[in-house]
């Protein structure tokens, strides 16, 4: 009697099928992780770019508010030095009193200096320094403090990794651009700033207007030479005579009372 062979029933997967399945699963997981990593890196790059743009915008807003609010007697001084690879500049604003809290104490800065500091990395740091005394020459406080230690009591790093940082100022009388400014008693008309941040940073150029304002010290001298406040009306001694107000007759103390209302006859 001849019997036909019985096909055994298959149970489980073969080793080859398991290897193929595990390989496909590893490929899928790798693709998912690669996509997630790329998305995360792109998101971080976008956030860093936005933060840098916000920082740059805040820096320009700070300069714009400072330059537009300068009083007429501000000492504006810009010194530039060529160090070979960079231009090192110090922009000093004096006679601009600033009161703020630093270290839990109220301090007043009579001079503010925005300077560039060269680092070992080859980049520049933009540092804002606050001085308690006047630091520019030809001022009494500067000569008094020159013998002592006239260091800033506060320093704030505003920008880092700056490739170059260059100033130019426009003289309102000659309408010519200058690289430095040492004119006393007069402010420039415009201030131009050109900078780039990082090795591949794009060049940024910003122009600030300085509204012309009258020097209050000059105005006071003119008033003293003119014998009083402008507009006339001064007495012989150069003083404005006081205005006397006589009280109404019959009213004690000079207080004005409203008239009594009379009732018309019936």
Which of the pair, 162 or 223, is modelled with greater confidence? 162
Q: Which of 244, 192, 152 is nearest to 67 (CA)?
A: 192
Q: What phi-psi label fits residue 12: left (phi over 0), alpha (psi between -120 and 50 degrees) or beta?
A: left
Q: How many CB atoms lie within 10 A of CB 197?
A: 22
Does 181 reside within a domain? yes
Could you list the beta-strand ranges (E) of the chain.
75-82, 87-102, 105-118, 124-131, 154-170, 177-178, 190-197, 204-209
Residue 108: give the domain boundaries.
73-214
Q: Are 243 and 250 in contact (CB under 8 A)?
A: no
Does 33 reside within a domain? no
CA distance 118 to 99: 29
The pLDDT-based confidence of 72 (bands split at 50, 70, 90) is confident
pLDDT score, position 205 = 94
**Residue position matching structure tokens 């790059």:** 45
pLDDT score, position 65 = 92
CA distance 154 to 103: 9
Across 89-93, 96-100, 130-134, 250-254, the highest mean pLDDT is recorded for 89-93
CA distance 4 to 20: 34
Domain count, the chain: 1
Does 118 reside within a domain? yes
Does 87 reside within a domain? yes
Mean pLDDT of 123-141: 84
CA distance 70 to 60: 16
Q: Are 169 and 181 in contact (CB under 8 A)?
A: yes
pLDDT in tens, 190-227: 999 999 998 778 899 999 999 988 776 666 666 777 76
CA distance 84 to 198: 19
CA distance 118 to 262: 88
Q: Are 234 and 228 in contact (CB under 8 A)?
A: yes
Of the chain, the percentage scoring pLDDT greater than 90 comes to 35
Q: Are 170 and 189 in contact (CB under 8 A)?
A: yes
At residue 71, the 3 state secondary structure works out as: coil
pLDDT in tens, 11-63: 667 888 888 888 999 999 888 888 888 888 888 878 877 788 888 889 999 99
CA distance 204 to 63: 14
* Averaged pLDDT score across all residues of the chain: 78
Does 232 reside within a domain? no
pLDDT score, position 216 = 67
Mean pLDDT of 108-112: 89
Does 2 reside within a domain? no
CA distance 211 to 188: 9
pLDDT score, position 163 = 94
> Full-prediction pTM beyond 0.75?
no
CA distance 64 to 56: 12
């Amino acid at each position: 009697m001849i019997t036909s062979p019985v096909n055994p029933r298959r149970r489980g997967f073969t080793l080859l099928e398991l290897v193929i399945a595990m390989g496909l699963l590893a490929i899928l997981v790798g693709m998912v992780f690669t996509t997630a990593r790329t998305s995360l890196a792109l998101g971080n790059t976008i956030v860093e770019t936005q933060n840098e743009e916000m920082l740059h915008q805040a820096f320009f807003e700070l300069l714009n508010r400072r330059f537009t609010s300068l009083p007429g007697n501000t000492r504006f001084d810009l010194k530039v030095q060529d160090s070979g690879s960079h231009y090192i500049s110090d922009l000093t604003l004096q006679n601009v009193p600033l009161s703020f809290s630093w270290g839990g104490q109220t301090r007043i800065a009579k001079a503010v200096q925005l300077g560039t500091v060269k680092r070992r990395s080859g980049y520049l740091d933009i540092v804002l320094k606050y001085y308690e005394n006047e630091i520019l020459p030809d001022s009494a406080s500067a000569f008094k403090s020159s013998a002592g230690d006239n260091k800033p009591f506060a320093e704030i790093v505003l920008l880092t990794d700056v490739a170059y940082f260059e100033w130019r100022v426009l003289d309102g009388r000659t309408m010519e651009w200058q690289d430095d400014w040492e004119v006393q008693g007069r402010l420039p008309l415009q201030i131009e700033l050109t900078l780039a941040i990082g090795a591949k940073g794009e060049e940024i150029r910003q122009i600030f207007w300085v509204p012309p304002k009258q020097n209050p010290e000059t105005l006071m001298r003119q008033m003293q030479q003119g014998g009083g406040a402008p507009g006339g009306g001064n007495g012989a001694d150069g003083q404005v005579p006081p205005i006397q107000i006589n009280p109404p007759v019959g009213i004690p103390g000079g207080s004005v009372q409203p008239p009594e209302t009379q009732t018309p006859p019936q």
